[in-house]
Structure 1
Amino acid sequence: MASLPYADVDSTQRAIAGQAEGFGRFAVGGLHGPLVTVTTLSDDGPGSLRDACRNPGPGWIVFKVSGTIRLSTYLSVGSHKTIDGRGERVKLTGKGLRLKECENVIVCNMEFEGGRGHDVDGIQVKPNSKHIWIDRCSFKDYDDGLIDITRGSTDITVSRCYFTQHDKTMLIGADPTHVGDRCIRVTIHHCFFDGTRQRQPRLRFGKVHLYNNYTRNWDIYAVCASVEAQIYSQCNIYEAGKKKKTFEFYTEKAGDREEASSGVIRSEGDLFLNGAQSCLLATSGGEGSVFHPSEYYKTWTMEAPSDSLKQVLQVCTGWQPVPRLLDHHK
C-alpha cells in the first residue's frame, strides 16, 4: 500500500513546522510566533487574512471561518508566517499570494481558484525568497500561473498539492536574462497534475527534484527543461492523454553566454503509461550533468510508482478535511 510522508504532522497545530522534505526542509513558518486567528472572509480589515499577514514578526495564522475570500489585489505574505488552513475550508479567488523578499513561510491546506488579471498567479514567489513550503493546497483556473518561482527565490518544497483546469501550471525561472536564477532549488513531490496543459514544471537555470508525482492528460508536454535547467525526475507516474511527449527541451541563450543551450533531465524509475514517451531524445542536448538530490539532503520518502500510489495521490492531494488541531505552543 502506498504511504505518504510526514503522516504525523497533524497531531498538533505546529507539528508541521520543519517537516518538509527536500529543498524546503528548513521552513518553519511562524513556529515562534503567536497564534493569529482569521475571523472574517473580508478582503481587508480587522480579523481578515490580509490583516494577519501584514502583522510584523512571526505568526501562525489559523481560521475560524470557512468560505471564499475575494482578493482585490495580491496578498503579500511576510517572513516567518504560517497560513494554516487545516480545520476549515478557505478558498482564495480574484488574486493570489505574493511571497516577496521573505523567508520561512508555510502555506498549508488552502484552495486557490479563479485568479483574474495580467500576471496573476495563485502563489507568486519572487524576488529573493527562500525556505518556503507549499503543502496540500488545491489550484485551478488562474489567468497566469498556479505557482511561479522566479527572480532568485530558492530552497522551496511543493508537496501533496492538486493542480487542474489550467494552462501554464508552474514556471520556475521566468526569463533567460535572469541569470541570478542559477541559485534556484525546488523539490516537488507527491503532487497530482490532473489535465493541466504544460509546465509541470517548466524550469530555467535551477535544480528541480521531482518524485512520486502523478501527471496525466497534459496537452503540450509534462516537464520542460530550458536554458541550463537540471531536472531529476524520480519514480513519478506519467500517464499520457492525446499528447505523448513527456519531456520537452527548449533552447535559449542565457543573458551572460554566447551560445544557446537547453536543459538536462534525468529520468530514474519513472512509470510511463498510455503511450507516454519515456525516451529522452534531447537529454544530451543540454550541457553538463544533472545534480543528485543526495548532494543536498540525505533522505526523502519515496517508493516505486504503482497503481496503488496513483490511487492515493488522487485522494490525498490538495485541500484535505483535516480536523481542527490543538496548539500546544508555549
Structure 2
Amino acid sequence: MAIPLPFMLLLLFLAPSIISSSPIQDPELVVEEVHRSINNASARRNMGFLSCGSGNPIDDCWRCDPHWEKNRKRLADCAIGFGKHAIGGRDGKIYVVTDPGDHPVSPKPGTLRYGVIQEEPLWIVFKRDMVIKLKQELMMNSFKTIDGRGVSVHIAGGPCITIQYVSNIIIHGINIHDCKQGGNAYVRDSPSHYGWRTLSDGDGVSIFGGSHVWVDHCSLSNCRDGLIDAIHGSTAITISNNYMTHHNKVMLLGHSDTFTQDKNMQVTIAFNHFGEGLVQRMPRCRYGYFHVVNNDYTHWQMYAIGGSAAPTINSQGNRFLAPNDNTFKEVTKREDTPQSKWKNWNWRSNGDLMLNGAFFTPSGAGASSSYARASSLAAKSSSLVGSITASAGSLKCRKGSRC
C-alpha cells in the first residue's frame, strides 16, 4: 500500500531520531517509535508547514489565504460536523477589543464583555496581545464570534465563557486556562438585562442549552471543572482543532442520567490533540449522538472515551496511544453500569489506530440508523492524524502571510 504524502513527510522529518546503528528492528516497533516521536510537542509544533493541503478540511478552507486578516469572516464558512451551521457574527460588524478590563454589570465599550452581550451580530477581534481575567462568567449573546487570530489572547485566572440558551457562537484561537468558579453576583447578559448568578462550575467553556456552537483552534488547560462541557439540551456542536492538556475531567457531554432532553444532543469532536496531563472524559457522553473522528490521543491516566445512559458513540480514524501503566490500556469506560445493560449501547470503533496496547471495547448491535445519525463527516485514515492535528491549539498567525 502506498504511503500517504503527509505521513512520508513526517517520516523524513523525524528520520534522524529513529535511525540508529543497532541491528534491524521489528517493523512494527519502528512504526510505534515514529508515532511516539510525532507526539513530541516540539516536533508537532514544527510541522506547521503542513497548514495547506494538510487533509484538515477546516484549515485547508482558510489557512492558505495570505490575506486571511482581511477576510476573517471566511472562517464562518469552514465549519464541519454537527456545528457546521454556526455562523457566529458573520453577518455583523467587526468589534475590536482594546481594553482587557472587566466589569460584570457595567462593562466599558472596548472590553470583551461589552462586545459579547450586544444584541446584534458581531465579529470580535483583539487590537493586541492581552490576558483577560474576568471577574464573573462571560455570558455570551447569540451570533457572536470571538476571533483571536493574529494576537495572543488568554482568558485565564477567573471565571470563563458561558454559552447559555443562545445560538450561533464561534470561539476561535483563544487560550483558555486556569478558570475558576464565579457566581453569587450580578452579571449582565444583554444591554437591557442583568441577573443574579449562583455559583458556576468553573468550566473553560460551558454550553448550557446552547445550539450551533463551534469551538476551534483553542488551547485549553487546568480549569476547575471541565475544559468544555455541554449540557441541558445543547446540540449542533463542533469541537475541533483544539489542544487540551493538564486537566482531569476534560469534556462532559450530557447533564445527568435522568436528564432525557439530552437525547437530541449531537456533537462532533474532530482533529483535536488530547495531550499531556489528561486523566479522563475525552469525552464522557450521555444519551445523544457523538462522532469522535481523527483525534490524536497521546495521554490519558484513566480512560479516553466514557459514557452512561446509552449514548451512541462513533469513533473513527483516531489514534490512541495507551499509557505505559498496564491498568489503563482500555480506551473506553461505561460509568457505573453493568454489562447486561451497556452491551446494548451502540459504541463502535472503525479505522482507529491502537498503540502501546490500547484497546476499544465495542458494544451494541451496530444499528446503521444510529451510526448514521452519529456520522457528521467523512473520516480520514488514522495514518494522517499526525499531520491533521499537528497545528491543534491556538495558532501563531501573522498579518500578510499564511496562518
Q: Do they fold alike, i.e. is TM over 0.5?
A: yes
Once the two structures are superposed, the pairs formed by residues 139-150 of structure 1 within 5 Å of their partners are: 139-150=220-231
> 1:304 maps to which residue?
381
Whether 1:105 and 2:169 are equivalent positions in the alignment is yes
Q: Distance in 1 between matches of 2:79 and 2:154?
A: 23
Query: Which of 38, 54, 62 is equivalent to 1:9?
Result: 62
Q: Distance in 2 between matches of 1:325 and 1:225?
A: 45
Q: Cα 1:178–1:252, aligned 2, differ >3 Å: closer, same or farther?
A: farther
Q: Is the 8 A contact 1:227 1:260 kept in 2?
A: no
Whether 1:247 and 2:332 are equivalent positions in the alignment is yes
The aligned length equals: 313
Q: Distance in 2 between matches of 1:38 and 1:279?
A: 47
Percent identity (aligned): 32
Partner of 1:72, secondary structure, is coil
Partner AA of 2:386 in structure 1: K
Query: Which of 351, 356, 359 is equivalent to 1:274?
Result: 356
Q: Cα 1:293–1:213, aligned 2, differ >3 Å: closer, same or farther?
A: farther
Q: Cα 1:287–1:182, aligned 2, differ >3 Å: closer, same or farther?
A: farther
Once the two structures are TM-superposed, the CA of residue 225 in structure 1 deviates from its matched residue by 2.5
Q: Cα 1:296–1:304, aligned 2, differ >3 Å: closer, same or farther?
A: closer
Once the two structures are TM-superposed, the CA of residue 305 in structure 1 deviates from its matched residue by 1.1
Q: Which piece of structure 1 moves more, 110-119 or 226-235?
A: 110-119
Query: Which of 122, 126, 144 is equivalent to 1:59?
Result: 122
Partner AA of 1:309 in structure 2: V
Q: Distance in 2 between matches of 1:145 and 1:52?
A: 25
Per-residue displacement from partner, 1:41-90 (whole Å, max 9, x unpaired)?
11242211011111111111011021210011110111011111111110
Q: Distance in 1 between matches of 2:382 and 2:122?
A: 38
Per-residue displacement from partner, 1:179-222 (whole Å, max 9, x unpaired)?
10001000010000013110000000011001110012201111
Q: Distance in 2 between matches of 1:252 and 1:95?
A: 33
> 1:95 maps to which residue?
159
Query: Which of 213, 220, 231 is equivalent to 1:132?
Result: 213
Q: Distance in 2 between matches of 1:290 and 1:236?
A: 22
Q: Is the 8 A contact 1:232 1:291 kept in 2?
A: no
Whether 1:204 and 2:281 are equivalent positions in the alignment is no
Bigger Rg, which one: 2
> 1:172 maps to which residue?
253
Unmatched tracts of structure 1, length 5 or more: 254-258
Once the two structures are TM-superposed, the CA of residue 102 in structure 1 deviates from its matched residue by 0.7
Partner AA of 1:126 in structure 2: F
> 1:30 maps to which residue?
89
Partner AA of 1:212 in structure 2: N
Q: Distance in 1 between matches of 2:257 and 2:400?
A: 44
Q: Which piece of structure 1 moves more, 24-33 or 5-14?
A: 5-14
Give the TM-score normalised by the residue count of structure 2: 0.73
CA RMSD between the two structures: 2.3
Partner AA of 2:159 in structure 1: K
> 1:318 maps to which residue?
393
Q: Cα 1:187–1:288, aligned 2, differ >3 Å: closer, same or farther?
A: same
Partner AA of 1:18 in structure 2: D
Give the TM-score normalised by the residue count of structure 1: 0.89
Q: Distance in 1 between matches of 2:341 and 2:262?
A: 16
Q: Distance in 2 between matches of 1:104 and 1:194?
A: 28
Once the two structures are TM-superposed, the CA of residue 114 in structure 1 deviates from its matched residue by 0.5
Partner of 2:274, secondary structure, is strand
Partner of 1:291, secondary structure, is helix
Q: Is the 8 A contact 1:60 1:83 kept in 2?
A: yes
Q: Cα 1:110–1:206, aligned 2, differ >3 Å: closer, same or farther?
A: same
Partner of 1:17, secondary structure, is helix
Q: Distance in 1 between matches of 2:262 and 2:213?
A: 16
Once the two structures are TM-superposed, the CA of residue 251 in structure 1 deviates from its matched residue by 4.6
Q: Distance in 2 between matches of 1:211 and 1:325?
A: 32
Unmatched tracts of structure 2, length 5 or more: 1-5, 7-53, 182-199
Q: Which structure 1 residue ranges, 4+ long, deviate > 4 Å from structure 2? A: 259-262, 286-290, 293-297
Once the two structures are TM-superposed, the CA of residue 177 in structure 1 deviates from its matched residue by 1.3
Partner of 2:281, secondary structure, is coil
Partner of 2:222, secondary structure, is strand
Partner AA of 2:322 in structure 1: A
